[in-house]
Amino acid sequence: MSTINVNNILAAYSPQGVVNLNGTNVSYNTDGTVIGIGLGALQICTGNNSVALGRQALSTVTTGGDNTGIGGGALGSTTGSDNTAIGFFAGATHTTGSNNTFVGHSALGSSTTANNEITLGNSANSVLRCAVTTITSLSDARDKKEVTELRTGLDFINALIVTNLPYINWPNTLKGFKDEL
């Protein structure tokens, strides 16, 4: 099996940075820091370190950099930076926000300009399924103010009821507290 250096093909045949291979556009910028595969993918990007795979993925990103869009239309409207979208139309309406992650078909943020968000799925999703029942947030003293001691006392501790929690389709039984006091 022979290997073809795509960079050499692009540089030799397309000084504008777009070449058509079997009906699929492959685009890059002149310093090689962005790659787009798919019709319209990264077609007007002047930012750096972005990758787009899919028709119209990252199609309007201009100065934004460090973005990854995988799927048709993924991050198709953004000019922000440091965003990741995986799935058809994931993050597609996002315009200027940065440091966001969109996972799933039509996964969209709380607004088109949101920053620092993670979106799993779209509005049709009704279940988040995983082996654990909580999502843990980072927490330390820098995130808190006015911390005070909670003095609920021994009455609160004595009111807790320890129970066995056998799961129907899980081989383990957990120990926990009854959620009614």
Per-residue model confidence as pLDDT tens digits over 47-77: 788 888 888 888 887 788 899 999 999 998 8
Q: What is the mean pLDDT of residues 91-95?
A: 92
Quick one: pLDDT at residue 13? 40
Whole-structure pTM value: 0.63
Alpha-carbon separation of residue 132 from 56, 94, 98, 109 (angstroms):
36, 30, 29, 24
8 or 144, higher pLDDT: 144
Query: Left (φ > 0), alpha (ψ -120 to 50) or beta: where does 16 sit?
Result: alpha
Q: Tokens 């799935």 map to which residue?
A: 87
β-partners of residue 162 are: 177
* Type and span of the H or E element at 21: strand 18-21
* pLDDT digits 0-9 by tens, 21-35: 545 556 655 555 777
* Type and span of the H or E element at 163: strand 162-166
Quick one: pLDDT at residue 106? 94
Burial 81-99 (b: 16+ CB within 10 A, else e): bbbbbbbbbbbbebeebbe
What is the chain's length? 181
